[in-house]
Amino acid sequence: MNPRLLLSAALLALSPVAGWTGGLGDPSAASPTAGGAGVERCGTSSPTAADAVHVAAALGRWRQERNEAPTGGTIQVAVHVITDGVEGRVTDRQIEDQIRVLNQGFSATGFRFELATIDRTDDPIWFRISPGSIKEKRAKQALAIDPAHRLNLYLCAPAHDQLGWATLPYVSTEEDPMHGVVVHYGTLPGGFISGFDRGRTAVHEVGHYLGLFHAFPFGSKAPGDGVEDARSEASAALGRSTGRNRPDPGEDPIRNYMGYGDDASVTEFTAGQVARMTEAVAVYRPSLLGAAPRAAGREVAPEDAASPNDQTKAIEFRGAFPNPFHSETAIRFSVPHSQRVALRVYTLTGQLARTLIDAHLPAGSHSALLSSGDLPSGMYVLVLRVGQAQMTRSVILVR
């Protein structure tokens, strides 16, 4: 067993659900209301000055060690539609349009976006998550698909009139299911939030996801947003305001995607921002680019897809939930037909910790309970072997 191969596995996997084909649903009960009044533009956490300096140093070291600059690549997108009954139901076409807007917004950056999967969950609690909440954590732990190799995009109606937020790449390891982007479903192309209905909220948030700060993280004080050619601001430029508060003469960068302009105003990333995104991905999200696309409508982890004859296509390995766990966690999977199944738990050094299943199982869904027992805290690798096919997921035990 190769621990390096095991560590590259997905944390969780979900089978996509057939897309809903109706309309937007009833926006009257969704917050923020149509018209865009009182919206909170972005809930992404601001970096501390110390964080900004640390990130700049890490990217600087990376540049010094490389002779060639990175050139972007294709990012697979796993879309999770969270609804509350009919509220929040968006069409597959709207999701495809959102991917198109992402590709338009990032057309000069070298990054491309490809829709990998769509799944749909009806949950009134998760429908109104907020950044940093326990609801957000539980939703992402349950729904996230292979965060190291996929951009997970969550569509819902966030609490507190938030339009969206993202997880900055430096806050945790790339396998963390908290990584991803959350946007209000009303901001998709053709949505009902006036001023923010062209899909560019997702462009703003994906900019954060790829390593960009706001244009005003510390007002007019150092270290700024860390990008030399991005004009700094003393405060957020809302809507289409101009010429207000740059610390040097001129207009605020109201056309920049990382400002707070409305969708009609924002149209650009600077060359320095493009360089920062490509460097941040190389340093903090090294597994994100070049992931295997979806196969036959099923989500397959990259190493699983390399299995001979793609034998894993019809196997669903959803991993552990909850994850991380304290005392016990359920490991879920399904097999397409009756066959020999083995489910084992290994340490990161490749030592066998537990054998949970080693038997002939019928076709269908199955689960196994992993109890912490005398296992020490840390990360473990779950290895599911079905016939000749093998799939892996990781799980974290926290005491």
Based on the residue annotation, tell me whether 40 is a catalytic residue of this protein.
Answer: no
Token code pair at residue 296: 């036959």
CA distance 184 to 166: 12
Query: Which residues, other chains included, contact 189 with Cβ-Cβ below 8 Å and sequence gap of 6+?
Result: 94, 97, 98, 100, 101, 197, 198, 199
Do the beta carbons of residue 26 and residue 332 sit within 8 Å?
Answer: no
Listing DSSP states for 240-281 in one string gives T--SS--SSSS---TTBTTSEE-TTT--B--HHHHHHHHHHH
Beta bridge partners of 362: none
Identify the DSSP state of 41.
-
Return contacts of 124-127, CB within 8 angstroms, 24+ apart.
124/84, 124/85, 126/82, 126/156, 127/82, 127/83, 127/84, 127/87, 127/88, 127/156, 127/157
Our measurement of the distance from residue 334's CA atom to the centroid of its chain's CA atoms, rounded to an integer in Å, reads 25
Return the SS3 of 78: strand
Residues 87, 205, 299, 316: which is the catalytic one?
Answer: 205
Amino acid (one-letter) located at 265: S
- Residues annotated as part of the active site: 205
